[in-house]
Structure 1
């Protein structure tokens, strides 16, 4: 049979999961052209392997004999660059069902730990909860717990033939075994191994048509998190996301000091990404976790924008996503003021980093106020529009007035907030993107910079909304 030839497209060579391999090699052209990135990537990779005690990242040792592969591993170079019959279809609802993902999870992973529940599921992945096998009658609370994100495995050649803009996998830099490929999300987590602002990567299991990213758990511990009955992944254990910091009566769950702690930790996370020229392209209240000690983590790193230089972050088209209506910026609102729906594209040349910074600002505003910027104040006891509710997205009576306010009205700020906090919000919500502070400039604002001297212990307040969510989803 004629094997299709694989050649890495030039647009992929600048992607994070391919550039990382060159950025840790001092002899590479990219490392010599971008010495500041070389220093960051090299130092972080060294720290990552030190934390891991040089354990390999990709662990599934199964081999496949599909179409004459002669026992190739699914994460190997040969398998990634050859045609695979019935290639993975990301739109296949049967293959993407959570039960199917669980069924095809690597058996070596299942032998290593017990899956006991589900943290969440979506179009492109399901996050299971698992615990290491108890072989010594240890106390349940002393056993290691994990979050296991299972998604479809697409080879490099499969993605190339499907004309995907981004590579699905990349080579593990300086792997001590043969060349192994892991998802870009796992690669980014590897370079963030020493950060508390992101989940910690444990390993990856690439098994035929599915991949599993094993990481630190994303939910609070409780006594129900144990295999009873074993493998009953239908039990739900939702994580405490930042959306619960806004209550249903549209009041902030946190006071100003508590809100500043969360905001500063999110700033730290963005800074740690930006040091690698990476930006979280899907930053939202649903992708931020908050633990019981009020420590925040950014999750879902599957949509990261990365560039070697400034030009990589300028885009011509803006794809409007209704679920991000609450994060709509003035420059985009001007382009789509009267347009609604799931597929709205605006021809707006913009710096993607400005877009991420605006989303970051809206999250901070929401945490501090309990509602989103430019929401109309409630009248006669009415509630704010719930901009995370899909029923609101196509309601012009609720959305149109707010879009006009975004474009024309000054930002309403709670008068009770500290002045240094007001100064930050006024700057971040400037109508003109060029007038807003950069991430580096934000570090100089006292509201962020003074946090380094904070020693107070914080505890996450009780959330009735979260309690109801846990009760409802565990049934």
Structure 2
């Protein structure tokens, strides 16, 4: 297809070859549709204007940043070297074509992981839209690629999110009976975000072509961006290793190492946790960060918290070397094994930038679940009447608002990790009231609807508590509990700077803080994870 450049004032960002060709082809198809309907061509460009802002969107450039023959690799040599070296390390013992394993084709005889399938535009609902987890489990399992069932025996499931379900499986004819995590999510070809169907909000593309050493070129198999990042973190123990991707029809699947899992037979679980999904399928449980807490009490000693926090920082530093900054730190997004070795398991929110300016934004998303990461500047803005009204009128815990506050995602990633670290040590988040109140609950729960609160009395009391904490974040010094070591206190003071200009980013300066890494001097038997109490 012939290339078409957008008319002024639109200009395309500097994308990789594959994505640039894809956009050019989409433009041609949209123009042809307008010509056929005798409608103005300008409407086609208006429909695509959001694409003009896709600067530094990783799926649009990752292939060419790795390819040593590309223009982008020559323009960003240091970043290219890091990405190329890590990508090639992930291919030891296999070639790139062995990563995406679904052999099936769509009705047009195109593989689902192909360049040509990226022109499909679809929309898939969340698990709640599908009737909840109980209804979604058999649907996800029945519609996964047949090749998965040929390669693996699915023995159960271990968890779910808003859109995905993680199954557990063992390779057939493998005497070791090693278990793997099989993460199944709805598959959205790239055109789903370029020309979204009715009812879908345009996001960023989520699929990218693999680089094939020795061949390069374009139109290689596409894999999910999360899988790509797992290839690039292959040598870091803080991430699960990716074994294969299966992209089939409505779903995509990633097969990874299973980390932090507790078998259904684990005596710590007790019989209530052994749940049956269907005949011969069991419910596994992963030991995650939330299992460290009871109300506002932490089960960890400081040296145990040190190991978890240090290894989360290790994961953040691994990403930072590739101009990636993780902005979804949560106790739900990492798991630990019996020795508290920590693995980051969800890479859905990662910020990428080719230049410093792409890490900055003039607005920030605020949602009740992010209250634990409240910054002083956001607290100041939310105290203003305009935002206070919007905040108060958010209907439930799933609501969100965009607030006009400058943000640097490199700092915000560090701030999130600092809040996680503070909670590991203290049992509650920074500046939170340390006393537990059944009517208040956690600071993130102020929008949760209560059945015994028809008039919203408890909900308003919760909001008052939240606003009181915001005032402390603005005006009060960071409280540190008695018994916390001076090294730990110093680390928390450095990371939780109230002055944004002095606040650190994820970088070598933070990694050099003396507190991090002190777990290495603790006997291994002391770094065992606490018993699971259910």
TM over 0.5, yes or no? yes
Distance apart, 1:189 and its partner CA: 0.6
In the alignment, what sits opposite 2:26? 6
Within 1, Cα distance between the matches of 2:442 and 2:126? 29
CA contact (8 A) 1:80 1:156 kept: yes
Tell me: CA distance 1:51–1:189, structure 2 relative to 1, closer, same or farther (3 Å). farther
Distance apart, 1:344 and its partner CA: 2.1
Give the 3-state SS of the residue equivalent to 1:63 in structure 2: coil
Structure-to-structure mapping, 1:84-99, within 5 angstroms: 87-90=122-125, 93-94=129-130, 97-99=136-138
Q: Is it true that 1:443 corresponds to 2:511 in the alignment? A: yes
Distance apart, 1:16 and its partner CA: 1.9
Tell me: CA distance 1:174–1:55, structure 2 relative to 1, closer, same or farther (3 Å). closer
Within 2, Cα distance between the matches of 1:323 and 1:438? 22
In the alignment, what sits opposite 1:199? 240
Distance apart, 1:102 and its partner CA: 1.6
Tell me: CA distance 1:13–1:190, structure 2 relative to 1, closer, same or farther (3 Å). farther
In the alignment, what sits opposite 1:161? 195
In the alignment, what sits opposite 1:143? 177
Counting matched residue pairs gives 449
Match of 2:494 among 420, 427, 443: 427
Judge which range, 143-152 or 387-396, deviates more: 387-396
Give the 3-state SS of the residue equivalent to 1:186 in structure 2: helix
In the alignment, what sits opposite 1:406? 473
In the alignment, what sits opposite 2:42? none
Match of 2:533 among 443, 462, 467: 467
CA contact (8 A) 1:170 1:183 kept: yes
Q: Is it true that 1:39 corresponds to 2:81 in the alignment? A: yes
CA RMSD in angstroms comes to 3.0
Judge which range, 26-35 or 257-266, deviates more: 26-35
Distance apart, 1:112 and its partner CA: 1.3
Tell me: CA distance 1:375–1:223, structure 2 relative to 1, closer, same or farther (3 Å). closer
Name structure 1 gaps, 5 residues minimum. 469-475
Within 2, Cα distance between the matches of 1:44 and 1:286? 27
Q: Is it true that 1:72 corresponds to 2:94 in the alignment? A: no
Within 2, Cα distance between the matches of 1:272 and 1:462? 27
Larger Rg: 2
CA offset digits 1:7-35 (Å, max 9, x no partner): 59454463222322111122322222222
Name structure 2 gaps, 5 residues minimum. 1-21, 28-47, 267-273, 450-458
TM superposition score normalised by structure 2: 0.77
TM superposition score normalised by structure 1: 0.86
CA offset digits 1:410-464 (Å, max 9, x no partner): 111023111111111111111112212232211221112655666745443434x
CA contact (8 A) 1:119 1:236 kept: yes
Within 2, Cα distance between the matches of 1:326 and 1:55? 43
Distance apart, 1:57 and its partner CA: 1.0
Within 1, Cα distance between the matches of 2:521 and 2:480? 26
CA contact (8 A) 1:117 1:234 kept: yes
In the alignment, what sits opposite 2:140? 101
Give the 3-state SS of the residue equivalent to 2:306 in structure 1: helix
In the alignment, what sits opposite 1:387? 443
Give the 3-state SS of the residue equivalent to 1:72 in structure 2: coil
Larger RCO, structures 1/2 (Cα 8 Å, 6+ apart): 1
CA contact (8 A) 1:75 1:182 kept: yes
Match of 1:180 among 221, 224, 234: 221
Within 2, Cα distance between the matches of 1:382 and 1:160? 46
